[in-house]
Amino acid sequence: MNRFILIWLAPMLATAMPSARAGGDPAAGKAVFARCASCHQVGPSARGAFGPQLNGIVGRPAAEAGDFKYSEAMRRSGIVWSEQTLAAFIRSPGNVVPGTAMRFFGLGSEGRIEDLIAYLKSFDADGNPAGAVPSGAARRP
């Protein structure tokens, strides 16, 4: 029985390590984000520029950044960004949100999209390293 618990636990512990590969590779994703960084920011001082800031984007409803003026299309999309919808949007923005103001030809490679999403997931809603503090403790009232 103990053996089975260990087998189950080992990958969980591995994914808890910051450097471990959990789906995508955040370090590689940082390089991919260079493609987005002309329009988007992440991190504690991120703000809206050509595009909205992307802190805590996985799990964030579309068009939520208060300091960015979104298109009608994005505001009405009703999307809550998940890894799936993000991957699809990055591959082809106009197919997921027809009429979006995001002008981007899309990233083709599945592996690079995974890495990119892993990188984006490393920022919490305030742009701090996700998982550095127990979730809840970082939230302000």
What count of other Cβ atoms lies within 10 Å of the Cβ of residue 82?
A: 13
Site for ligand HEC in 77-116 (CB under 6 A): 81, 86, 89-90, 100-104, 107, 116
Amino acid at 10: A
Which structure tokens are listed for 15?
A: 């994914």
Q: Does 118 bind ligand HEC (CB under 6 A)?
A: no
Least CB distance to ligand HEC at residue 17 (A): 25
Choose, by CB under 6 A, the member of 46, 63, 96, 130 that binds ligand HEC: 63
Choose, by CB under 6 A, the member of 64, 87, 91, 92 that binds ligand HEC: 64
Q: For residue 123, which of 3, 29, 23 has the smallest C-alpha distance?
A: 29
Q: Does 26 bind ligand HEC (CB under 6 A)?
A: no
Are the CB atoms for 132 and 123 separated by under 8 Å?
no
> How would you class 9 by CB atoms within 10 Å of its CB: exposed for 0-12, middle for 13-18, buried for 19 or more?
exposed
Q: Does 49 bind ligand HEC (CB under 6 A)?
A: no
Q: Does 47 bind ligand HEC (CB under 6 A)?
A: no
Q: Which residues bind ligand HEC (CB under 6 A)?
A: 35-36, 38-40, 50-52, 54, 57, 62-65, 70-71, 73-74, 81, 86, 89-90, 100-104, 107, 116
